[in-house]
Amino acid sequence: MGLAKRIIPCLDVKDGETVKGTNFVNLRSAGDPVELGKAYSEQGADELCFLDITASFEGRKTFTDMVTRVAKEINIPFTVGGGINELADVERLLYAGADKVSVNSAAIRRPELINEITSRFGSQVCVVAIDARFDADGWHCYLKGGRERTERGLFEWANEAQERGAGEILFTSMDHDGVKNGYANEALRELADNLSIPIIASGGAGKKEHFRDTFTDGHADAALAASVFHFGEIPIPELKAYLKAEGINVRI
């Protein structure tokens, strides 16, 4: 059966509340992150992911306090990301109670950050998040919440991240984000088949079949989703029962 596939609710946090958008824009409120985190933990989520999407100095303080509050309420691993630029940021969040950190823009700008995190805290702490879009010349990585294109290609950057010690890749297809038409399974499969570290699928969940397809067709190790969980469209226990019935190894 292999390792159990993981279901990971993702909470984008802005000014202390959970928000959700489409294609990275048009944000709307989705509730209190601590309450949501606790509810997901109780419903059987395997992990949680919290992203500080406005990591200015003030936002950081609010976010760090929230991480501490979440840690007291849940008993599953959780990853935090947003505004992590140096080891001091990683230390602050791990100290607040996070299990892993997710780095994105800062790692593309200065790839040595991955080496620094993994040599100090271990590979299992470092998740490299990649926001990519399929442009006319192939998959390209984007920075600053999807606002700035880079010349880094998705596959070569993911490969370099693995070589530098990343423990997991969290790949968000910007074209699929919030659209609810399914994950970018072709690109996910290419990542999963060429790398030896786990691949987390992100962007595109709209129905239970999409989760099944990203595990079977996309070869993903975990599936991350936001609005279908936040707005009660797919309850986690129901999703897991469905996946198990479809022959996918999940923890019930």
Question: Cα 139 from chain centroid?
Answer: 18
Count of all residues that appear for the chain in the document: 252
How far is Cα 205 from Cα 223, in angstroms, rounded to an integer? 9
Would residue 193 show up in a list of annotated catalytic residues for this protein? no
* Residue 16: predicted pLDDT: 83
Q: Count the helix, strand and coil residues of the chain and give each as a percent rounded to the nearest 5.
A: 40, 30, 30
What are 201's strand-pairing partners? 171, 223
Which segment, 2-6, 26-30, 202-206, 240-244, is predicted with the most confidence on average? Answer: 240-244
The answer on pLDDT for 6 being more than 90 is yes
Would residue 221 show up in a list of annotated catalytic residues for this protein? no
How far is Cα 43 from Cα 57, in angstroms, rounded to an integer? 33
Provide the phi-psi class of 165: left if phi over 0, else alpha when psi is between -120 and 50, else beta.
left
Which range (12-16, 162-166, 189-193, 201-205) has the least confidence?
12-16
Q: Give the torsion sign (CA, 146, 149, 151, 154).
A: positive
Alpha-carbon dihedral angle through residues 169, 175, 179, 184, given to the nearest 10 degrees = -50
Which range (55-59, 151-155, 227-231) has the least confidence?
55-59
> Mean pLDDT throughout 140-157?
91
Which two three-digit tokens encode residue 199? 């691949």
The answer on pLDDT for 91 being more than 90 is yes
Q: Is the model more confident about 16 or about 199? A: 199
The answer on pLDDT for 79 being more than 80 is yes
> Mean pLDDT throughout 43-72?
87
The answer on pLDDT for 138 being more than 70 is yes
Q: Which of 52, 89, 131, 177 is catalytic?
A: 131
Q: What is the mean pLDDT of the chain?
A: 92
- Listed in sequence order, the DSSP H helices in 139-219 are 154-163, 185-194, 208-216
The answer on pLDDT for 23 being more than 60 is no
φ and ψ of 137, to 5 deg? -105, 30
Q: For strands 6-14 and 48-52, give the pairing.
A: parallel
* Residue 18: predicted pLDDT: 87
State pLDDT tens for residues 173-199.
Answer: 988 877 789 999 999 999 999 999 999
Q: Which of 12, 52, 89, 213 is catalytic?
A: 12
Alpha-carbon dihedral angle through residues 193, 197, 198, 202, given to the nearest 10 degrees = -80
State pLDDT tens for residues 123-134.
Answer: 999 999 999 999
pLDDT band at 146 (very low <50, low <70, confident <90, very high): confident
* pTM given for the model: 0.94
